[in-house]
Amino acid sequence: MSAHAAGPKIKVLVVEDSAVVREFLVHILGADPGIEVIGTANDGEQALAAVARQRPDVITMDIHMPRLDGLEATRRIMETHPTPIVIVSGSTDPREVATTFRAMEAGAVAVLRRPAGIGHPDHEASVGELVRTVKLMSEVKVVRRWPKAGRQPGAARPGEANGVQFEAKVKVIAIGASTGGPPVLQTILAALPQDFPVPVLIVQHMAAGFTQGFVQWLAQTSSLPIHLAAHDETVRPGHAYVAPDEFQMRVERGGRIVLKQDEPENGLRPSVSYLLRSVAEVYGRDAVAGLLTGMGHDGAVELKLLKDKGAVTFAQDKESSVVHGMPGAAIKLDAATLVLPPEKIAATLASLAKYGK
């Protein structure tokens, strides 16, 4: 982010009801030469006024606050002065985390754990993650929300989905996502029919501690059972499996999930590349795989490998992506058979699964 250091500083508004935590966040962010904390707010009402008055580049948002909570504040900000919002949460209780993800439905672009205190072993790493995320999210100039999929587009003809011919029997679907991915995954999974005939494997890059709550949040709107993947379980048709924190997830013959604490790939664990490589080995052309919005290039090379084996592959389009890193990298490699917005991905998956059997 040297461009930021040389140019104008990123203007950040810190919204947090605890005075101690608020000052902690101001200190962390203000210590970076590329960031200027232009104001603070104790609750959602103050946040709305500060956004209108000061027009920050990025907002860090607490969820549990008096008068107006972070969820409702996020909704109103996105309706009036759309601004990249990073949820900074002190809770990893799955029920509270599920509520936190509703703020992503409202338009927040990222969810992070509150950085660990000074002296904690994770202090430097968690501070670094917050600062990096704030800087990267400042580049998201337009934060989009995706409409909930209602009536799906008409089904594709047998043997065809969005004009793509295929002959394979679809046995698995694998999806990778990063920044901005949760609401897109929610849109896709909520639109899949209850009788969806194949398993779905998911890697969503996420701060540690939020994945169980993420799974519970997805389950609230999906007719498919959503699971936090477990080692040595066999995938079932019509079930979705999300890779857990700090484990690489792969699939072996017979549809068995294997979780390993192998080294990070592309700096990530779980890594989309790790999953897709195993899908290519085990299923080849009988897989459908895709990359959604997110930073970096995790999974792009492996998506090309799958396409070369005859699998149908997809990438989220640029217009609907919060960050077009991962899907953009796949498109540059000619790894995507299809480039689609979220609301069309579910209909395409349903057609491929139905007619690919």
- Among 83, 71, 271, 62, CA closest to 178: 271
Spot the catalytic one: 43, 138, 205, 278.
Answer: 205
Spot the catalytic one: 298, 317, 320, 351.
Answer: 298
Q: 123 an active-site residue?
A: no
Contact 224, 193 (CB under 8 A): no
Separation of alpha carbons 176 and 293, rounded Å = 9
In angstroms, what CA-CA distances link 113 with 130, 170, 240, 290, 348?
9, 38, 25, 27, 35
- Among 125, 226, 239, 84, CA closest to 172: 239
Separation of alpha carbons 101 and 116, rounded Å = 21
- Give start and end residues of each alpha helix (H) in the chain: 2-6, 19-30, 44-54, 70-80, 94-105, 123-137, 181-191, 211-219, 272-282, 300-308, 325-332, 342-355
Q: 320 an active-site residue?
A: no
Q: 178 an active-site residue?
A: yes
- Among 301, 291, 312, CA closest to 355: 312
Spot the catalytic one: 126, 178, 321, 351.
Answer: 178
- Please count the helices (runs of H) and the strands (runs of E) in the chain: 12, 16
Separation of alpha carbons 79 and 18, rounded Å = 26
* Chain centroid, CA 276 distance in Å: 17
Q: Which residues contact 302 (CB under 8 A, 6 or more apart)?
A: 272, 273, 276, 277, 280
Contact 222, 189 (CB under 8 A): yes
Tokens of 92: 């990893």
Q: Which residues are catalytic?
A: 178, 205, 298
